[in-house]
Amino acid sequence: FISGAFAQCVDPNAPPPLPGFLLPLACGTSTSITQGNNSPYSHNGLAAYAFDFGIPRHTPLVAIADGTVIATSDVVQPGDPCWNGGGEECANTVNYVLVQHADGTASLYMHLDAPVVNVGDAVARGQQVGWSGGTGWSTGPHAHLQRQQLCGSWWCQSVPTTFTDFNDAAPNTGDAVTSQNCP
C-alpha cells in the first residue's frame, strides 16, 4: 500500500548519504574556488570563513544541509545598478537566501539572480535554493557561500566550514571542487 500522492523509490544499491555539509553545487558540478577563507580582498571580518565559487550566472545553487529558509531577498532586478555587480554602495543591495540548520548555524547563499525558495520553506540538502548571479558588491557572476552564526540579521559572523565532499576540509583559493551533493 502506497499512501500520499507520490511514492519515492529507494535504490537498495545506492550508497548511503554523505554526512556533514556538502558543496552548494548540483551533483557532479565542477568548478574552482575563486576566493577562499581569510583572503585579503573581501573574505575577512564577518566573512572570514566564506567561499566564492567561479560559476556562470544562473547556475543552480543547492542547500549544503537540511534546514529552514529564514530570510530571502530578491530586491535587485535586471537593469538595477547593482545587478551586474557594483562597489561598496551595493553591499546591502544583494539577492540572497539564508537557511537555518539544526546545529544552530545558517548558510548564506549570496549574489543570486533570484532565490527559488520562500521564508518558512523546509529544504533538504541538495535541494535548489537559488540561481547564481552577480548582484550586490561583486566583481561579476559567481556564488558566495558562508556558514554563519544566527544573530537576528541576514549578515552575521561566519564560522569555519568544511565540506564532506572535499575530503572534510575547507577548499582554498584556486582549488578545484566537484560536488557530491546528490539526492
Residues 6+ apart with CB under 8 A from 9: none
Residues 6+ apart with CB under 8 A from 14: none
Cell numbers that stand for 134 in this block: 552577480
Inter-residue contact 51 to 165 (CB < 8 Å): no
Residues designated as active site? 142
Residue type, 86: G
Inter-residue contact 23 to 166 (CB < 8 Å): yes
